[in-house]
């Protein structure tokens, strides 16, 4: 039986911390789905379709080995997607105690709803402080985001970004 894992997130934008978790998951599991999800509690900066493209480009640049697929999901529960692709696991990166407090109830509910386990992965310490919202703030104020995001995302944020807010 193959192990299929889903790494969900808003990835608005993808950071080096996200990429680190995805690469490590790709080395551990047979198939990894990076799933860009719509978070109704957040106002997105980058359209979902563009986030998918940025992730695909970052993965290609990082030469990620393994079966990694990028998709989006905006309707229904995460566990519905997991069931559709026969995923056994959800992978979540945790930066600190706030993430643990936020993610733990969701992990329990996902297990209750669909018997899908969640595995928490700690980030590389160099990325433990990086969040997409921090990157958006630094980029929006003209700061250098290169220590925090893949090169293609830096280029997008510093030049080619359409600032229209969409989901």
Task: Work out the burial of residue 131: count CB atoms within 10 Å of its CB; fewer than 13 is exposed, 13-18 middle, 19 or more buried.
Answer: middle
Query: Any known ligand binding at 95?
Result: yes
By residue count, the chain amounts to: 167
- End-to-end Cα distance, the chain: 36
Evaluate whether 38 touches 13 at the Cβ level (below 8 Å): no
Query: Any known ligand binding at 10?
Result: yes
Query: Any known ligand binding at 74?
Result: no
Annotated catalytic residue, options 69, 95, 111, 136: 95
Query: Any known ligand binding at 53?
Result: no
Query: Any known ligand binding at 72?
Result: no
Query: Any known ligand binding at 93?
Result: yes
Q: Show the tokens assigned to 71.
A: 């998709």
Shortest CA distance to 10 belongs to which of 61, 53, 51?
51
- Indicate the DSSP class of residue 126: G
38 catalytically annotated: no
Shortest CA distance to 86 belongs to which of 47, 125, 33, 40?
33
Query: Any known ligand binding at 69?
Result: no
Query: Any known ligand binding at 78?
Result: yes
42 catalytically annotated: yes
95 catalytically annotated: yes
Query: Any known ligand binding at 131?
Result: yes
74 catalytically annotated: no
User: Which residues contribute to the annotated binding site for ATP?
Assistant: 10-11, 18, 93-95, 103, 127-133
User: Which residues contribute to the annotated binding site?
Assistant: 10-11, 18, 42, 78, 92-95, 103, 127-133
User: Which residues contribute to the annotated binding site for substrate?
Assistant: 10, 42, 78, 92
The residues annotated as belonging to the active site are: 18, 42, 95, 132
């Amino acid at each position: 039986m193959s192990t299929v894992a889903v790494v969900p997130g808003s990835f608005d934008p993808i950071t080096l911390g996200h990429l680190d978790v995805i690469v490590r998951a790709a080395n551990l599991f047979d198939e990894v789905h990076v799933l860009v999800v719509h978070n109704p509690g957040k106002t997105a900066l980058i359209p979902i379709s563009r986030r998918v493209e940025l992730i695909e480009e970052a993965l290609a640049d990082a030469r990620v080995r393994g079966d990694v697929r990028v998709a989006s999901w905006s309707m229904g529960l995460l566990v519905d997607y997991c069931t559709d692709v026969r995923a056994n696991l959800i992978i979540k990166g945790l930066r600190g105690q706030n993430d643990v407090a936020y993610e733990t109830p969701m992990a329990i509910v996902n297990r209750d709803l669909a018997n899908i386990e969640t595995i928490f992965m700690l980030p590389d310490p160099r990325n433990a402080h990086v969040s997409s919202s921090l990157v958006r703030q630094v980029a929006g104020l003209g700061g250098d985001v290169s220590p925090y995001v893949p090169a293609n995302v830096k280029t997008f944020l510093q030049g080619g970004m359409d600032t229209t807010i969409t989901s």
